[in-house]
Structure 1
């Protein structure tokens, strides 16, 4: 990945002295060194905006990387006549922050749904009926289609966001959301049927 070693790369003196417009044009033309220079020039701005909005340094780092990756992938969409390159980056940053906040909300909703399925954890954890519930839940999880089971496993056992699951699996974010929603609905139906039966 281009951004993996971006902070370790050296930028020659020529790139440091380029104007913002020339640097942006180099990036649009596909010059990876210009991406490195853009990261060095505006990375702190992007990280600060993300950090203030999200209140989490680690999430801000993720968003910063996503912003520059999105800028690289969408570089052909930059139009200098619409505004400065820094403003374009801020626009991408705002969208990535909104995505991160939405993912946080979805994660909270998923955890609440899982909590409703599993019930509260308390001193009954070792009681026979609780053990039976856990066995039942594992059995129902095992019956889910592999894709739904994988998404729920990554969400609950590895504490990944849906965006992170999409990155790990290579699936589109919408597909991850669908698998998650369908898997939770299927679990709810099966567990309710077991409770009634």
Structure 2
């Protein structure tokens, strides 16, 4: 009977550690389980878990904030605000594709937008103050405009955070109401309500503040885009 020779076995193409049972696969699986356990403890209200969550993902949040804001101190403030907001709103967390880190990134983007809006307001107010200190005496009309601008900035600072953010995106970002709703995740009706109430407060501040000659102050102009959905 003829005998068939068998050649040498073909070398395996499977790389060490590429299977789930390999060292790399087991490490990835362990990391995933650890992250899921952290998220579960955080959402359940385990106060000890907030420290672990902060250590695990604060570098990520700080890096995103630092790249956008370009300022370490502001990035640190945003990082603190993100985790405080996440802890307060933990019951609203729903595990998704990005898990807890993806949720934290979403909060980070909102807090960065708030920080940019606050920076713009500070810059505007500082510019008004500097012009008042450096410029020679101005006409009554120009003085009225400067006073009105200061009154508006002060009224903005007193608005609730949600309304202040919507107004900032409308006035400084020149976004429509629909774009604001998409940016913030708020319902369009809520955006319209926030903007309407905020403008009412600003108009009232101008009416109460008046002008240098006692004339009725002109109401703030609504940006063209914000007046339409």
TM-score, normalising length from structure 2?
A: 0.49
Where do 5+ consecutive residues of structure 1 fail to align? 1-15, 131-139, 141-147, 156-161
Counterpart-to-counterpart distance in 1, 2:125 and 2:204: 11
Where do 5+ consecutive residues of structure 2 fail to align? 1-30, 139-146, 168-197, 216-229
Alignment match, 2:134:
121
Does residue 91 in structure 1 map to residue 106 in structure 2? yes
Counterpart-to-counterpart distance in 1, 2:33 and 2:202: 48
Alpha-carbon distance change, 41 to 180 in structure 1, aligned in 2, over 3 angstroms = farther
After superposing on structure 2, the runs of 4+ consecutive aligned residues of structure 1 that deviate more than 6 Å are none
C-alpha deviation, 1:58, in angstroms? 1.0
Counterpart-to-counterpart distance in 1, 2:164 and 2:108: 24
Alignment match, 2:212:
191
Provide Cα deviations, 1:80-110, integer angstroms capped at 9, x if missing partner: 1343211111111111111111121222233
C-alpha deviation, 1:185, in angstroms? 3.0
Give the secondary-structure state (helix, strand or coil) at the position aligned to 1:34.
helix
Alignment match, 2:75:
60
RMSD: 4.0
Counterpart-to-counterpart distance in 2, 1:107 and 1:119: 15
**Of 162, 172, 182, which aligns to 2:160?**
172
Provide Cα deviations, 1:60-92, integer angstroms capped at 9, x if missing partner: 111001100111011112111343211111111
Alignment match, 2:88:
73
C-alpha deviation, 1:190, in angstroms? 2.1
Give the secondary-structure state (helix, strand or coil) at the position aligned to 1:119.
helix
Give the secondary-structure state (helix, strand or coil) at the position aligned to 1:58.
helix
The structure with the largest alpha-carbon Rg is 2
Give the secondary-structure state (helix, strand or coil) at the position aligned to 1:50.
helix
Structure ranking higher on relative contact order (CA contacts 8 Å, 6+ apart): 1
TM-score, normalising length from structure 1?
A: 0.56
**Of 30, 36, 49, which aligns to 1:21?**
36
Report how many aligned residue pairs link the two structures.
Answer: 144
